[in-house]
Every structure is written in C-alpha cells, then in structure tokens.
Amino acid sequence: MFDNERKLTILKNIENAIKLIESQSAQIKSPDDFLLSQEGMFMLGGICMQLIFIGENVKTLDNKTEHEYLKLYPEIPWHDIMGLRDIIVHEYHRVDEEEIYSVIKKDIPSLSLTISRMISELNNDNS
C-alpha cells in the first residue's frame, strides 16, 4: 500500500518543481525568448529538467497507486505529462520551444492548482 505520506512527498516534489518553472520563466514572453540568448537557452534546458522531474514523479505516483489515484483528477492529462517526459529524455532533438512555452503558460497553472488541491485533500485526510 502506498500511503498518504508517500503521496504527499511526491506531490510536494511536483509542487516545488512547478514553482521553480514559474519563477524561471516569469520573464519569458514568447517562445523566441528561449532562443535569443545563451541565458534563454540555459533557461529552456533548466525548465526541461524540471518537466522531466515532474513527469518522473507523476509516473511513480501512478505506478505506486496501481493507476487509480490520478484517475480522481481527470482534468489533468497525466499521460501527456508522462509522454512529454519521455520525449525530453529520449528524443531531446524533438523538444520544441513553442511547445515548452505552451506547457509553461497554459498547462502549468492548471497543474499547479490541481497539485495544491491534491495536497490539501491528503492533508485533510491525515487530520
């Protein structure tokens, strides 16, 4: 059995990675901002590493909960998160700055809200 404490640890790891992505990308206003400077390219690499970390943690959570826990939160495309992790890790040449920009601006905010809700619900269960 994968207990709530273990789930919380993974969710907090994801939450921290999201916060790091948000702070790193705050000044990014377009996909081109990643390509226009060495700092932008470095930032893109760092954000990709955090996306790998998120994807890895999502995979672990899914596997350890026998693919049931994440189903409680269908508003998040969990398989897409895991798939993006696989692309970044195994096919880095396919990483597209426009796709990463879209993930940061459109997907990360909703993921952040859901992860916060998941943490809150687990904390309430532990009370």
Give the Å distances, CA to CA, from 118 to 21, 26, 106: 19, 25, 19
Annotated catalytic residue, options 67, 90, 93, 94: 90
Annotated catalytic residue, options 85, 93, 94, 117: 85
Interatomic CA distance for residues 76 and 64, integer angstroms:
18
Burial class from Cβ neighbours inside 10 Å (0-12, 13-18, 19+) for residue 51 reads buried
* Catalytic-residue membership of 94: no
* Catalytic-residue membership of 90: yes
Handedness of CA 18, 111, 66, 122 (dihedral sign): positive
Which residues are marked as active site?
A: 85, 90
